[in-house]
Structure 1
Amino acid sequence: MRRSPQLGAFLAYVVEARLAGDAGAIKAYSIAVDVFGRAADFDPQRDPIVRVQARRLRALLAEFYQSGNAEAPIEIVLPIGGYVPEFRARMLEQLPPEQQPVAPIYQDGARAKQSVKPQTETGRPRAVWAVGILALAILILAGIYWTSLSERTGVAVPVAQPAMPFVIVEEFESLIDDRRGVPLVAGLAIELVTDLNQFPDLSARYGDTQAEVTQGDLALGQPIYMLSGVVRRTEQGVRYSVLLREHNSEAAFASVDVSVPLDNGNPQMSLDDVARMIAIRLGSPRGPLHAATRQWLASSTASDLVLEPYPCFIAAALFREQRLLIDATQVERCAEAGARGGDSESQALLALITADRGWRIGSDNEEGAALLAEGGRLADEAIRIEPISAFNWASRGFVALLGGDTLQAREYYSTAMQLNPAAVDMLADYAYVEAQIGNWQLANSLSALAFSVESDPPNFYYSVPALHALRDGDYRAAVEFGERMIEGLPDLGSAVLVSAGGHLRDNTVINAYLPRLLASNRFRRMGIMPALRYHILDTELLRVLSNGISHAGVPVDRLARPF
């Protein structure tokens, strides 16, 4: 606390407000303005300082109470996802004997009577020295044996979770004389800051021409990256080169290039489009800014750890890509914790998880229908809390799609794309929705853009090229794409592969995937074609799917009715 007076002020502010009976006034806005000196127009969705500092405060409090230095009978707890502190009586065995209370402890500010053994003046210096030597010995031993000690005793060791990346964007430098043409860099840095702040797992600020890392930036406790860029002429037109480096290092952390062709000396992309292409690469959950967090999640053994919002979002992306790598209950647990604290995007994530479970149980089942309805309610509430979040609108679109309302899903995704056109997974999902409706030109262009960003795209990206190849009669390509698609979308993927195999009369493909098609609980409950019509509105695609599956030897009753 001494090293960060702001955290001390934060703690005092929320505790005093709670003791004064004014818990309702403890909001992100009031903390930002009263404690951190933010202006009256502070927007908590654009400036994450309160959320970040709250995470640091929770970690310091946990460290303090577990260090053995705390003597008070009351413990201050800042719940995950909120800012209103709780006051809890500590267990008697946690206190030294001379500090153990002999009367009940009362919460919410009421004083507790306790008996403390008086200390003689002559004994105090010796006691202080003894305690100091003992504390030093404990610290040295803990540094060596902390892990094994915690395993033997069962004492919880506070886990430092990754913090959200923070990017300071400097003005771009132009090496091209554009005095007689379209400005090539004016406003690009500001646009890029706006785009990056639309992601729920990134934050950014404008750094002018030569950015300085301020004490306020350091106080956030986030990994800080400096982004600079230059535009220069090439044979193909102009190239925007972006360099990302850690603030305390001159070495390049990552780089991004965007090439723009010229037509009569004018670039064929607007600065908004250039900023989007840069942000789409930096904002990807598989991008360089999140690489360390993905590695931490993959190697973490603390399955019972409640993740904070930032690592929770990265865990959700990992879960979607590789369901065996991340425990679904861990993602659901951290989404619930964030939602209880009023974080709208955590609630939208919880809506996705809830609706996905309902879809897997089945909309034709009472329990499944109830879960789908609950997912829709949670997503609607998330939008009501924060209507300018692209993630909230995209989540509502995905929930609508799972509920069988493909046209409504398209509307939600369209709104999300207006808010954040640089979210690459959202691009892939939106392309998938447009493909099911039959808007192939838009679906293919969105899908191609998503593929251009990712060097190793997730399996669910392959749904659009697989469906398009099948519809166009390129059955070999449908098999190639379908074999990637099936790992992300097993039901639809097996239908695509069996249909393509049927059209090719390829028994190898049919034999490999027909058992998976017929083992699908969803197809068994509804019939294969009714289940496919649940999402797909393109009648030609449905016809090709039906004919191919029939050619593969599936009887008509399996196609049309439950089995």
Structure 2
Amino acid sequence: MQNQLPAEHDVAPCLSCAPPNHDDIRAQLERIFSSCEFPKVGRSAAFLTYVTEEALAGRAERIKGYSIAIEVFKRREGFKQDDPVVRIEAGRLRRTLERYYLVAGQNDPIRIDIPKGGYAPSFVWNKEVPASSDERLPTLRQRLQKLMPFGLGAAIMLGVVMVALAVSAYLLPTRLGSTSQGSIKEGPTLVVAPFANLGDGPQAGLYTAGLTEELLTALPRFKEIRVFGRETSKSLPSGVEASQVRGELGARFLLAGGVRVSGDRIRVTARLLDTDNDEILWSQTYDDDIKSGDLFSIQSDVANKVATAVAQPYGIMAQADVSNQAPDDLGVYGCTLSFYGYRAELSATRHLDVRECLERAVARYPSFATAWAMLSIIYLDEDRFRFNRNTSGSPPINRSLQAARRAVQLDPDNTRAHQALMTALFFHQEVSEALRVGEQALATNPNDTELLGEFGTRVAMSGEWQRGAELLDRALALNPGGAGYYHGTRALAAYMLHDNKTAVIEIKQADLQKFPLFHAVAAVIYVNAGMMDDARREAFSFNEMRPDFIPNVVAELKARNFRPADRARLIADIRKAGLPASDEVQASMLWRPQGSAVLVPR
């Protein structure tokens, strides 16, 4: 005989009670669906119903992403597992249930959850598993009160241990199988709708299908975003509404467009929509002459341009997310946004905040390659920029290399991981290997402007100023709103190439007032441009911010792999700007007391 559903006020934690029966669970399911806290659009209800009924039928072990995709999302047989639709919807459902039990379902008799690491649901009496850490406090307090007869000190000590265990269980990473990137709340999700065929004849149809395929190849190379796979795109009509994409798939962005062929001319229109409000965030038109190139080259070029515009760091999707980011959002994706915000400013204050955020992220999600790559760059900045150096552990350059190598091991196709490894190797004085890694990464994703700018910087500082300038020009052309850091390096390249006009223009566009080295580069540029008042002002600001640099200027420039002739020129112009920089001959003749050492920052 099935046990009767207890009254809500009678429900109490009882590990020995019988589990909820089928009728109890189905009644709870209806209670959840009827609540205003549960979304009435999308597939959440169908998802939860399917996994619940499968579990009640004794088939919990057969609940897999593939079966959910077929039964709930109506994918065809042969569904490819690279389509993240099930993982994304499962994450949304978990958050929906968590919110429901925190708000409307606090006193519901039964708790239904989808534990991470799988899709099979769990069913327990609500008070057995607290919905939040706050609900644990009365239980702990009650246990302490029971222990009071054995002594206040013992009770307090046991309470401290129990709290520590609870906190550690919450903060420490879960088992490896449940820390995959699919379980991380990663950044913006994008659906590519099939581009509409607006022309006549077989060429238009062929080009339209090919362009959509090229986009689905180019976009996933940007690891900061999640792109729904080919099966999802093929299942949508070309004119799908943004609200439908939001409701059924939960994607934040929709990329759509059309192709028109007329004679020898082909025109592609593309637009990115915010599915929250149907706002067009970006649109562009691309015109080509079919006679000037084959269709495959044209569609590849257009796809790369579209992907670069919308998906790159500092691109359209990132800008939209930054503008909507909650001030207190310290989630994993919040860390990546903060990282790019730091790179645009390069200040010690933001460096510390981002380092702490990323360290928490990799502790909780140790398989998240992008976070490891970003942390590698942050560790390196402790050394080369003297930002918040942590002296309690291994040297920053060692931590930077370790983090970069871990990122590459976790995700060999991750552009940010290779960028981090390239940069760490460069400052580890392994210049040839660093540039080799950079060349390979650029061949993999030539449209990632963060990589392109960093690689151009490394090439330039190693002495190839002309090629470095060309790479930086490409990065800035693809992403005019990119980091000021790359404008600053482009200014330095122009200075080295004796192009004073470009140097002045670029250093003013950099405008990194909180970054000490910006002022040093500005000083030597203004010296060459004959702007001596500006040069002395910038030199004074630099020396105020980095008083350790000038006494060790030769070592500093060597650490950055400047060639001897380039070092000599920089030191001469620093001296013209008013700072007492010693050249290499003078530096080698400086007397040092027995046992002393010259500080060699990087």
1:419 alignment partner AA:
T
Equivalent residues of 2:191, 2:251 under 8 A apart: no
Name the structure 2 match of 1:164: 188
Name the SS for the 2:286 alignment partner: strand
Name the structure 1 match of 2:65: 32
Equivalent residues of 2:197, 2:259 under 8 A apart: yes
Residues in 2 aligned to 1:397 and 1:10: alpha-carbon distance in whole angstroms: 47
Name the structure 2 match of 1:385: 410
Equivalent residues of 1:505, 1:552 under 8 A apart: no
2:48 alignment partner AA:
G
Per-residue Cα deviation, 1:236-267 (whole angstroms, up to 9, x for no partner): x7543213345698774421233546775768
Which residue among 459, 463, 484 is the counterpart of 1:438? Answer: 463
Select between 342-351 and 238-247 the one with higher mean Cα deviation.
238-247
Residues in 1 aligned to 2:371 and 2:133: alpha-carbon distance in whole angstroms: 36
Which residue among 51, 60, 67 is the counterpart of 2:97? Answer: 60
Q: Is residue 352 of structure 2 the alignment partner of residue 319 of structure 1?
A: no
Name the structure 1 match of 2:256: 227
Q: Is residue 282 of structure 2 the alignment partner of residue 254 of structure 1?
A: yes
Per-residue Cα deviation, 1:510-556 (whole angstroms, up to 9, x for no partner): 22111233345485387123212222445554343233223334335
Structure 1 residues 194 and 330, CA, compared in 2 at 3 Å: closer, same or farther?
Answer: farther
Equivalent residues of 2:102, 2:131 under 8 A apart: no
Structure 1 residues 386 and 364, CA, compared in 2 at 3 Å: closer, same or farther?
Answer: closer
Structure 2 length-normalised TM? 0.66
Residues in 2 aligned to 1:334 and 1:552: alpha-carbon distance in whole angstroms: 39
Equivalent residues of 1:174, 1:232 under 8 A apart: yes
Structure 1 residues 228 and 43, CA, compared in 2 at 3 Å: closer, same or farther?
Answer: same
Structure 1 residues 319 and 554, CA, compared in 2 at 3 Å: closer, same or farther?
Answer: closer
Equivalent residues of 1:169, 1:227 under 8 A apart: yes
Name the structure 1 match of 2:401: 376
Residues in 1 aligned to 2:279 and 2:330: alpha-carbon distance in whole angstroms: 34
Name the structure 2 match of 1:203: 227
- The CA RMSD over aligned residues, in Å, is 4.9
Shift of 1:466: 0.5
Runs of 5+ unmatched residues, structure 2:
1-31, 34-39, 123-127, 145-184, 589-597
Q: Is residue 314 of structure 2 the alignment partner of residue 290 of structure 1?
A: no
Q: How does 1:3-22 map to 2 (within 5 A)?
A: 4-5=44-45, 8=48
Residues in 2 aligned to 1:64 and 1:457: alpha-carbon distance in whole angstroms: 42
Equivalent residues of 2:339, 2:354 under 8 A apart: yes
Residues in 2 aligned to 1:89 and 1:451: alpha-carbon distance in whole angstroms: 51
Q: Is residue 209 of structure 2 the alignment partner of residue 190 of structure 1?
A: no
1:229 alignment partner AA:
G
Structure 1 residues 178 and 72, CA, compared in 2 at 3 Å: closer, same or farther?
Answer: closer
Structure 1 residues 450 and 268, CA, compared in 2 at 3 Å: closer, same or farther?
Answer: farther
Equivalent residues of 1:428, 1:447 under 8 A apart: yes
Equivalent residues of 2:85, 2:228 under 8 A apart: no
Name the SS for the 2:371 alignment partner: helix
Residues in 2 aligned to 1:514 and 1:82: alpha-carbon distance in whole angstroms: 59
Equivalent residues of 1:498, 1:509 under 8 A apart: yes
Size of the aligned set, in residue pairs, is: 487
Shift of 1:459: 0.9
Residues in 2 aligned to 1:14 and 1:544: alpha-carbon distance in whole angstroms: 74
Q: How does 1:15-414 map to 2 (within 5 A)?
A: 31-33=64-66, 35-37=68-70, 42-43=80-81, 47=84, 49-51=86-88, 53-67=90-104, 69-70=106-107, 94=135, 164-171=188-195, 173=197, 175=199, 185=208, 187-199=210-222, 200-206=224-230, 207-208=233-234, 210=238, 212=240, 218-231=247-260, 239-246=267-274, 252-260=280-288, 270-297=298-325, 300-302=326-328, 305-309=329-333, 311-322=334-345, 327-328=350-351, 331-339=354-362, 340-341=364-365, 342-361=367-386, 370-414=395-439
Name the SS for the 2:84 alignment partner: coil
Which residue among 477, 485, 496 is the counterpart of 1:471? Answer: 496
Residues in 2 aligned to 1:522 and 1:378: alpha-carbon distance in whole angstroms: 30
Equivalent residues of 2:112, 2:121 under 8 A apart: no
Shift of 1:321: 1.4
Shift of 1:50: 1.4
Residues in 2 aligned to 1:88 and 1:331: alpha-carbon distance in whole angstroms: 34
Per-residue Cα deviation, 1:161-206 (whole angstroms, up to 9, x for no partner): 9962322231353748796x9x755522111111112222241444
